[in-house]
Structure 1
Amino acid sequence: MTIKTELQATITDLVVAGKGILAADESAPTIAKRFKAINVESTEANRCAWRSLLLATPGLGEFISGVILFEETLGQTTPDGKSLPEVAAGQGIVPGIKVDKGFTPLTNAPGDVVTQGLDGLAERLAGYKEQGARFAKWREVYSISPHNPTQIGLETNAEVLARYAAVCQSLGLVPIVEPEVLLDGDHAIGRCFEVVEIVQQAVFHALHRHRVELEYIVLKPSMVVPGKDAQLRAGAEEIAEKTLTVMRRSVPAAVPSINFLSGGQTPEEATANLNAINAMAGNAPWQLSFSYGRALQQPVLEAWQGKPENVSAAQQALYKRARLNGAARYGQYSAEMEQAQA
């Protein structure tokens, strides 16, 4: 199979009407924090049990086309000896892998950060591919303040994302390109709009410079929302209208899918906003989907509580959230559906 054939096969399996991507790639500190909230110790066994629960959820593949895994998860197995990527693939869910190494302050750009992990990336990707990964994910993070992001921050982060994406494609792995504009702050929705637009323009310029083929990437951007401490809130229709406007201005039609991150929204908000985007999208050139972490997992964690007897209830909670987001992919979600049984 040629590299292009491989990339196209993965895009075909990932970009599916009515489906989205589950982000289950929390780093060790993040998963420890989530577990602490339900009084569960973050041991390897507990992390394996949790991620096995997610991937083995009956029917999950009806609404989830791909899952982003943490490095540790690629090598973990269920009690019956199946690797967790095999469990996902058995449901028709494409296994992927988070490959960045977290961020560090960017020199001479106060308030901006840059993500690490390019050194040795090709070798790591080759190993992950052998373990079953077919796509990768890399996240760059942008804060909004009166001075951020800086020009240095915009250019450096875009360059790193493009270099990562080029390496992925050279090895036959589809890159998820994630420029996350953070929700933190009291800025208005208009300021978020400005930042998302300049961030994505910088990213696509860099992708072009590095000859990344846009037909074989997935974009994972932020929706256009006000800061979490903003005085003026925004409804789903305003968020959808501004998000679609900025995507049309900055995302080439060659990109097959835009899978939004939830970025601190509640599960219900993330679903309602995705629904409004799809209801308003008309003849948008890309699929408009989701790649949610906490917005899919939070109700599941609360149902699980680390107890084996709660696995079935937790899986029902995941199936329900996946189903509701599947409906939002068609603009067919309504708040009343939240009350219905899984």
Structure 2
Amino acid sequence: MNTQALIDIANALVADGKGLLAMDESSSTCRKRFVEQGIEDTEEMRRAYRELLITTPRLSDSVSGLILFDETIHQAKKDGTPFVEVIVKAGMIPGIKVDLGAKPLAGHPGETVTEGLDGLRARLQDYHRLGARFAKWRGVINIGDGIPSTASIAVNAHALARYAALCQDVGLVPIVEPEVLMDGAHSLARCSEVTEKVLHAVFAELNIQGVLLEGMLLKPNMVTSGADSAEQADVHAVAAATLDTLLRCVPAAVPGIAFLSGGQSPALASAHLNDMHQGRVLPWALTFSYGRALQQPALNAWNGEAANVAAAQKELEQRAALNRAAVQGRYTAGMEPK
């Protein structure tokens, strides 16, 4: 393990107010989004869409790294140039999603555990050879009646820590993603309580597994009201609750925290991030690692038509720039496109 290389990459991913574009949707998730738009789902259409994202002009002004899916990291532009080569040439860092998805947790109805540890070392080595320099693994925690259980939190925290240790062993910076889902009618306070329990468990396991905190990033949920809650916390309350929770749980040695959007609208994800950058002194960089909240405007504009590529890229460039402005604490709703 090259400790300094891991530290350098982790810091580069959260430098200068830039964030990550999460374009690591599985083929099935991509298919679902295409169907919603009435776009034909074929490997070539998925490749064309990913080329659109990766080749967006000036994307590197706001984005430091891109999280790819297994299919994507093996793909290339129409002219044959590998996507990884395009990303590096544009001044960004390629990353890769390596978990195999959340599966039902035996004995615990309504809860899941993320699989993919078997054979992971060999897969990580292959991805490193292909040019990936960081990886991502997502653990999923549900809030509901009597859940999450201690077992669910423990097993997902352990898997995240095992994954992170393996990543660092082969030279990849691990992005550790324990996501407490927005699904449900829970309150802001309940989300804060669960998120705190999850983060404490995750960092305890990372310590047990000997993970270098300076060479990793955290990708957590924001602390929000449940999507079905009758009382939705306002932007300031979400930002304050999120920061309070993170400050209680995340060691200062971690160089950066890159939030997932978790189903928030693009504008709301930007507003929450912006409000967290209004004068509070924080021990780590705080940025974005958004998927749908970055991509959706571009997908809407493209709609599967080659003639719409430039318009779609403009949407992505603009959305990324708005999130960088949020990281710098200067985003306003008036900056949103009409």
How would you bin the TM-score normalised by the shorter chain?
over 0.9
CA shift for structure 1 position 107: 1.4
Letter of the 1:23 counterpart: A
Runs of 4+ in 1 over 3 A off after TM superposition: none
Structure 2 distance, partners of 1:229, 1:77, is 41
Structure 2 distance, partners of 1:44, 1:291, is 25
Q: SS state of the match for residue 106, structure 2?
A: coil
Structure 1 distance, partners of 2:28, 2:264, is 20
2:213 matched to 1:220? no
Structure 2 distance, partners of 1:87, 1:5, is 25
Further displaced range: 285-294 or 101-110? 101-110
Q: Paired residue for 2:164?
A: 165
CA shift for structure 1 position 86: 1.1
Letter of the 1:124 counterpart: R
Structure 2 distance, partners of 1:337, 1:219, is 28
Q: Deviations over 1:266-325 (max 9, x none)?
A: 000000000011125x21000010000000000000000111110000000000000000
Structure 2 distance, partners of 1:146, 1:240, is 26
CA shift for structure 1 position 171: 0.5
2:305 matched to 1:307? yes
Q: Paired residue for 1:321?
A: 319
Question: Could you tell me the TM-score, scaled by structure 1's length?
Answer: 0.97
Q: Paired residue for 2:90?
A: 91
Q: Paired residue for 2:184?
A: 185
Aligned residues: 338
Q: SS state of the match for residue 258, structure 2?
A: strand
Structure 2 distance, partners of 1:210, 1:111, is 28
CA shift for structure 1 position 108: 2.0
Please tell me whether the aligned partners of residues 17 and 287 of structure 1 are also in contact (alpha carbons under 8 angstroms): no
Q: Paired residue for 2:198?
A: 199
CA shift for structure 1 position 8: 2.3
Q: 289, 292, 296: which is aligned to 1:298?
A: 296
Structure 1 distance, partners of 2:256, 2:110, is 31
Structure 1 distance, partners of 2:63, 2:214, is 21
Q: Paired residue for 1:240?
A: 239
Q: Paired residue for 1:276?
A: 275
For structure 1, the 5+ residue unaligned runs are none
Please tell me whether the aligned partners of residues 226 and 233 of structure 1 are also in contact (alpha carbons under 8 angstroms): yes
Q: Paired residue for 1:63?
A: 62
Q: Deviations over 1:79-105 (max 9, x none)?
A: 222111111111111000000001111
Q: Deviations over 1:173-196 (max 9, x none)?
A: 000000000010011111000000
Structure 1 distance, partners of 2:10, 2:104, is 33
Letter of the 1:335 counterpart: A
Q: Percent identity?
A: 51
Structure 1 distance, partners of 2:307, 2:182, is 36
Report the RMSD for the aligned CA atoms in angstroms.
1.0
Letter of the 2:10 counterpart: I
Structure 1 distance, partners of 2:11, 2:181, is 30
Q: Paired residue for 1:137?
A: 136
CA shift for structure 1 position 245: 0.2
Q: SS state of the match for residue 58, structure 1?
A: coil
2:9 matched to 1:10? yes
Q: Deviations over 1:117-156 (max 9, x none)?
A: 0000000010011111000000000000131110111111
Letter of the 1:199 counterpart: V
For structure 2, the 5+ residue unaligned runs are none
Structure 2 distance, partners of 1:293, 1:212, is 26
